[in-house]
């Protein structure tokens, strides 16, 4: 007996359209891959790909590489190979053909146009992975991990989103969902069929099982800090008065000279943003205009934007010139930083010159203070500190199921809150059908988490971030 508001597995979708796209990066290369997927994939490719063996391409066995010519209106465009992956044994779960041709920009485009003229439609961004999800080949958490993998900036992201890591998270979420579903099913079975000889959960057993599930949810939720730091990135802002070395630090963390560095104050007038890495932590890094009062209208806008980034940051890197006495602008920033709850690292730059003792003493109230010389091109101490702040040392990326997205964290938080409400309801003596209503809410949140029951808006939002051809 299932609960009245049951969770659903993803429906097996059958698409009427057949789509195609170039799946390799644009530009000149040795080879390019064009993927075609849908009910007419084999027929469409057969209209323009002709095996050198003279055999009918549509009769080719699955997963067999065939060499042949790609033609349009009887004229050969290129030669290459093609492979058929027949449903359901393909990435998308439907008939798929992959053509590999020479990797020139124009020839690749010509092959794509030939497939479009033969009857295929252009594939939107993320369409192939979307079809894999809707066909039940992937969970939504799998799809999110693949999206992160495509944009990976460090090896920690690759490890976190690799297939074994995706499987660990999917299995863990499925296990929690199924255990809760079993509890709810047993409760409703007894309610709906009171005359049947069905075992009834005792209050103690019910509490123990739900408490164990709640503990598993808490354990999963605790991994999000690490997962967020690796996969989504920590919103980090570099602040300080003009000419203290903010842009030098920005270039050091980014690994190149992206920001202009001069001896002139106010060189940086706008916010510069890039993705950088600090060890295993991904940083959404922003270099800002120097904080000071100014009559320059352009610079003043830059200062306002700098303060706005400070307010929304998850990490503040506050840079001060440790070789010179503190200024009024420094004092104002120090007072502001003392009032914030945002994790802050004080960086006393230009320590290669001379670090004034009175400058160091001004930061005794701060927990994280480092001496730094951006010119030495090393930030090992800063990297180690950032990892300590945002990576849980008890979590192993290689063998732990880790939440990686805000959507996953929000859904799991919703499920945990509903489970707590249900436990309190049972403890207060409310009837089982009333107390179980919150369990159904928790079950729904878990179903949304892995895509068993999720809105089209959420699905579209996830796949819109993918590249065309994936």
What's the CATH number where 420 sits?
A: 1.20.120.430
Mean pLDDT of 250-258: 77
- Does residue 420 lie within any of the structural domains? yes
Higher pLDDT residue, 4 or 204? Answer: 204
Residue 335 parent element (H or E):
helix 328-338
- Asked if 263 and 210 sit in the same domain, the reply is no
Indicate if the pLDDT at residue 230 is higher than 70. yes
* Two tokens, residue 75: 């004229």
- Asked if 83 and 105 sit in the same domain, the reply is yes
- Does residue 1 lie within any of the structural domains? no
Average pLDDT, the chain: 83
CA 432, CA 3: separation in Å to the nearest integer? 13
Higher pLDDT residue, 444 or 203? Answer: 444
Angstrom CA distances, 118 to 48, 75, 128, 148, 270, stand at: 7, 14, 19, 33, 50
The pLDDT, as a whole number, for residue 456 is 61
Mind giving me the DSSP string for 95-158? -EEEEEEEE-HHHHHHHHHHHHHTT-EEPPTTHHHHHHHHTTSS-HHHHHHHHHHHT--SHHHH
| pLDDT tens profile 454-465 | 556 555 655 565
Domain boundary among 326, 357, 390: 390
Looking up tokens 């352009």, which residue turns up? 298
Model pTM greater than 0.75? no
For CA atoms 302, 305, 310, 316, give the dihedral sign.
Answer: negative
Q: Is the Cβ–Cβ distance between 398 and 272 less than 8 Å?
A: no
Pairing of strands 344-349, 369-371: parallel
Higher pLDDT residue, 16 or 122? Answer: 122
- Asked if 276 and 382 sit in the same domain, the reply is yes
- Does residue 240 lie within any of the structural domains? yes
Domain boundary among 103, 119, 135: 119
- Asked if 376 and 448 sit in the same domain, the reply is no
Higher pLDDT residue, 466 or 24? Answer: 24
- Does residue 2 lie within any of the structural domains? no
- Asked if 102 and 182 sit in the same domain, the reply is no
The pLDDT, as a whole number, for residue 262 is 46
Indicate if the pLDDT at residue 290 is higher than 50. yes
- Asked if 176 and 68 sit in the same domain, the reply is no
Count structural domains, the chain. Answer: 3
- Asked if 212 and 251 sit in the same domain, the reply is no
| pLDDT tens profile 367-376 | 999 988 766 6
The pLDDT, as a whole number, for residue 455 is 52
| pLDDT tens profile 95-150 | 999 999 998 899 999 999 999 999 999 999 889 988 988 888 887 777 777 777 77
Q: Which of 16-25, 405-414, 434-443 has the lowest mean pLDDT?
A: 434-443
Indicate if the pLDDT at residue 220 is higher than 60. yes
Which strand ranges, in their side-by-side order, compose the sheet holding 272-278? 272-278, 281-287, 234-239, 315-321, 344-349, 369-371
Mind giving me the DSSP string for 197-264? ------HHHHHHHHHHHHHHHHHHHTTHHHHIIIII-EEEEEE-STTSSHHHHHHHHHTS--S---SS
pLDDT band at 2 (very low <50, low <70, confident <90, very high): very low
pLDDT band at 195 (very low <50, low <70, confident <90, very high): low
Mean pLDDT of 445-455: 71
Higher pLDDT residue, 306 or 251? Answer: 251
- Does residue 10 lie within any of the structural domains? no
Give the residue among 343, 323, 310 at the shortest CA–CA distance from 239: 310
Q: Is the Cβ–Cβ distance between 8 and 452 less than 8 Å?
A: yes
The pLDDT, as a whole number, for residue 112 is 95
Mean pLDDT of 305-332: 87
Centre a 10 Å sphere on the Cβ of residue 262 and count the other Cβ atoms it contains.
10
- Does residue 139 lie within any of the structural domains? no
Please name the residue ranges forming H helices in 281-320: 297-312
> Residue 33 is part of which domain span?
19-119
Classify 297 as helix, strand or coil.
Answer: helix
Higher pLDDT residue, 181 or 162? Answer: 181
- Asked if 381 and 250 sit in the same domain, the reply is yes
Angle between helices 437-450 and 406-427 (to 10 degrees): 160
Provide the CATH number for the domain around residue 72.
3.30.1360.120
Q: Is the Cβ–Cβ distance between 99 and 22 less than 8 Å?
A: no
CA 292, CA 266: separation in Å to the nearest integer? 9
Mean pLDDT of 142-162: 77
- Does residue 64 lie within any of the structural domains? yes
Domain boundary among 390, 414, 447: 390
pLDDT band at 469 (very low <50, low <70, confident <90, very high): low
Share of residues in the chain with pLDDT > 90 (%): 39
Provide the CATH number for the domain around residue 277.
3.40.50.300
- Asked if 381 and 434 sit in the same domain, the reply is no
Higher pLDDT residue, 328 or 293? Answer: 328
The pLDDT, as a whole number, for residue 144 is 77
Give the residue among 392, 412, 418 at the shortest CA–CA distance from 217: 412
Angle between helices 140-150 and 406-427 (to 10 degrees): 150
Q: Is the Cβ–Cβ distance between 465 and 126 less than 8 Å?
A: yes
- Does residue 353 lie within any of the structural domains? yes
The pLDDT, as a whole number, for residue 81 is 97
- Asked if 431 and 295 sit in the same domain, the reply is no
> Which DSSP letter does residue 417 get?
H
Contacts of 4 (CB under 8 A, 6+ apart): 188, 440
- Asked if 376 and 275 sit in the same domain, the reply is yes
- Asked if 43 and 159 sit in the same domain, the reply is no
Share of residues in the chain with pLDDT > 70 (%): 81
């Amino acid at each position: 007996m299932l609960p009245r508001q049951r969770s659903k597995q993803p429906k097996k979708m059958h698409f009427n359209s057949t789509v195609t796209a170039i799946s390799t990066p644009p530009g000149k290369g040795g080879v390019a891959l064009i993927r075609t997927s849908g009910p007419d994939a084999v027929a469409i490719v057969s209209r323009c790909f002709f095996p050198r063996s003279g055999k009918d391409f549509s009769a080719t066995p699955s997963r067999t590489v065939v060499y042949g010519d790609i033609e349009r209106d009887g004229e050969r465009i290129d030669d290459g190979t093609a492979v058929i992956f027949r449903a359901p044994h393909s990435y998308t779960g439907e008939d798929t053909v992959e053509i590999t041709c020479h990797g020139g920009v124009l020839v690749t485009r010509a092959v794509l146009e030939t497939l479009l003229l033969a009857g295929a439609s252009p594939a939107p961004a993320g369409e192939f992975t979307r079809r894999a999800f809707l066909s039940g080949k992937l969970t939504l958490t799998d799809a999110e991990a693949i999206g992160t993998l495509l944009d990976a900036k460090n090896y920690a992201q690759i490890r976190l989103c690799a297939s074994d890591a995706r499987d660990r998270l999917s299995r863990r979420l499925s296990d929690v969902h199924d255990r809760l579903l079993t509890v709810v099913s047993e409760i409703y079975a007894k309610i709906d069929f009171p005359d049947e000889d069905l075992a009834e959960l005792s209050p103690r057993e019910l509490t123990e099982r739900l408490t164990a599930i709640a503990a598993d949810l808490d354990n999963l939720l605790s991994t999000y800090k690490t997962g967020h730091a690796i996969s989504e990135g920590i919103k980090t802002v570099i602040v300080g008065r003009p000419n203290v070395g903010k842009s030098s630090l920005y270039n050091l963390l980014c690994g190149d000279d992206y920001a202009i560095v001069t001896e002139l104050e106010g060189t940086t007038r706008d916010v510069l943003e890039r993705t950088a890495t600090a060890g295993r932590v991904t940083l959404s890094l922003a270099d800002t205009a120097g904080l000071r009062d100014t009559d320059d209208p352009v610079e003043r806008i830059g200062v306002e934007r700098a303060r706005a980034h400070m307010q929304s940051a998850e990490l503040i890197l506050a840079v001060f010139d440790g070789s010179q006495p503190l200024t009024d602008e420094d004092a104002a920033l120090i007072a502001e930083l003392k009032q914030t709850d945002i994790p802050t690292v004080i960086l006393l730059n230009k320590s290669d010159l001379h670090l004034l003792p009175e400058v160091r003493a001004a930061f005794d109230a701060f927990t994280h203070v480092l001496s730094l010389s951006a010119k030495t091109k090393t930030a090992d101490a800063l990297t180690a500190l950032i990892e300590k702040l945002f990576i849980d040392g008890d979590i192993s990326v290689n063998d732990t199921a880790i939440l990686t997205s805000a959507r996953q964290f929000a859904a799991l938080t919703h499920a945990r809150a509903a489970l707590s409400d249900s436990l309190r309801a049972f403890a207060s003596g409310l009837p089982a059908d009333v107390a179980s209503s919150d369990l159904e809410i928790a079950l729904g949140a878990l179903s949304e988490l892995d895509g068993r029951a999720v809105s089209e808006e959420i699905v579209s939002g996830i796949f819109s971030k993918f590249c065309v051809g994936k």
